[in-house]
Amino acid sequence: MVNPPPKNTRKSNQRSPSLKGVSMARLAALNLIEDVMGKGLPLQESIARSREYDALDARDRRFCRRIISLTLRHHGEASAILAPHLNRPPKGKNRKAGFVLMMAVTEMIMGGGEPHAVVDQSVRLVKAVELAHLGGLTNAVLRKIAAEAETLKARPADAWANLPTWLARAIRADWPDQADAVAASLMMTPPLDLSLKNTGGD
């Protein structure tokens, strides 16, 4: 009998005072995005090991997955929006703050999130993951972006910015005439099929 993979035992799963007012769905999303983008782990494997995700109710799980999907699909565009406001992206131990910023931008600009709430939660989030020294930076950068939100939303989407170089080259080589359409299709959330399968019974 194969034992199930052990659950992720991050310290952040402990509800300490630093998590007061923090969206647990956003915290779970942040740690899962870090697993995928920072450590190269498969998303489904990380979800299966995450106690934070496991503790969410159905509504929060949907929100968590939405944040993850937005961030992974639009991370290149988010990085381009953030670039003018950062001397350099947070690195090393501070890299997690970069993922918080990326999540916030995709939620505000691509996901239609309410700017004030997104900024507030993002500041709380960096403090919750022991990056309080970047709380001011997070607040300042996201407030500037929030002020430009309507203009940024009106900009044409740039699907190519979100694709790895190898994939962009392959698309242009294989579908030279439909490359833009193919790239754009990869940014779309797949439809959820809830149809019942015919099992042969009445």
- Three-state DSSP at 29 gives helix
Enumerate domains of the chain plus CATH numbers: 11-155 (1.10.940.10), 159-189 (no CATH)
Instruction: Provide the pLDDT for residue 152.
Output: 87
Note the pLDDT tens digit of each residue in 114-166.
999 999 999 999 999 999 999 999 999 999 999 999 998 887 667 666 666 66
Share of the chain above pLDDT 70, in %: 72
The better pLDDT of the pair 177, 191 is held by: 177
Instruction: Provide the pLDDT for residue 90.
Output: 87
Note the pLDDT tens digit of each residue in 43-96.
999 999 999 999 999 999 999 999 999 999 898 889 999 999 998 888 888 999
Q: pTM of this prediction?
A: 0.75
- Three-state DSSP at 8 gives strand
For residue 62, count other CB atoms closer than 10 A to its CB.
Answer: 12
How big, in percent rounded to 5, are the helix, strand and coil portions of the chain? 70, 0, 30
What are the CA-CA distances from residue 45 to residues 49, 150, 151 (Å)?
Answer: 6, 36, 37
Closest CA to 170 of 157, 179, 161: 179
Instruction: Provide the pLDDT for residue 183.
Output: 61
DSSP string, 161-197: GGS-HHHHHHHHHH-TTTHHHHHHHTTSPPPP--PPP
**How many residues are recorded in the chain?**
202
Instruction: Provide the pLDDT for residue 196.
Output: 47
CB neighbour list of residue 33: distance below 8 Å, 6 or more residues apart? 68, 71, 72, 99, 102, 103
Angle between helices 95-105 and 115-128 in degrees, nearest 10 = 160
The burial class, CB within 10 Å (0-12 / 13-18 / 19+), for 172 is middle
Determine the Cα–Cα distance for residues 185 and 10; give it in Å rounded to an integer. Answer: 35
CA 79 to the chain's CA centroid: 12
Instruction: Provide the pLDDT for residue 181.
Output: 72
